[in-house]
């Protein structure tokens, strides 16, 4: 199951996950409204069918993005878009690349970091924290 697109429906009273779906389309097949789920995920709406909705990400794994060159070699791995903007990249351009509305930003292609890159990033964070 692709964890970047999986979603969870949470009971607001107990904060327990009641439903987990591999995608919004799967939640729609189970009887939930796709449009309202997207509104909950984007923050425009708080609940749908009295449930909170969120994207499921692996616990303990940072959300990361990769910048790679035209040959497909990873040039940078960032823990977030904010970190990439601190390095001089433009947030809206990165977001457009990730969303497929733009091919490149500063001659680099962008994607969500794969599992191996996320692990390398997590290890690097632990090394930085322990070396302080």
Three-state DSSP string of 95-118: HHHHHCCCCCECCEEEEECCHHHH
Helices (H), 43-114: 81-86, 91-99
Angstrom distance (rounded) from CA 109 to CA 102: 9
- Check residue 62 and report its DSSP letter: P
Which pTM value belongs to this model? 0.47
pLDDT by 10s per residue, the chain, length 132: 344 478 999 999 998 999 999 889 999 999 999 999 999 888 888 899 999 998 876 544 456 888 989 898 888 888 888 889 999 999 999 989 988 899 999 999 998 877 666 666 666 666 555 555
CA distances from 55 to 47, 91, 128 (A): 14, 21, 28
């Amino acid at each position: 199951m692709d964890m970047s697109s999986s979603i969870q429906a949470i009971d607001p009273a107990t904060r327990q996950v009641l439903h987990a779906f591999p995608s919004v389309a799967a939640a729609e097949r189970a009887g939930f409204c796709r449009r309202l789920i997207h509104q909950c995920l984007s923050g425009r709406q708080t609940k749908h069918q009295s449930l909170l909705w969120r994207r499921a990400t692996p616990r303990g794994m940072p959300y990361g993005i990769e910048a790679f060159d035209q040959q497909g070699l990873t040039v940078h791995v960032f823990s977030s878009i904010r970190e990439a903007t601190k390095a001089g990249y433009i947030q809206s351009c990165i977001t457009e690349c990730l969303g497929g509305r733009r091919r490149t930003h500063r001659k680099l292609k962008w994607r969500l970091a794969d599992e191996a890159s996320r692990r390398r990033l997590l290890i690097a964070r632990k090394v930085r924290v322990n070396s302080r």
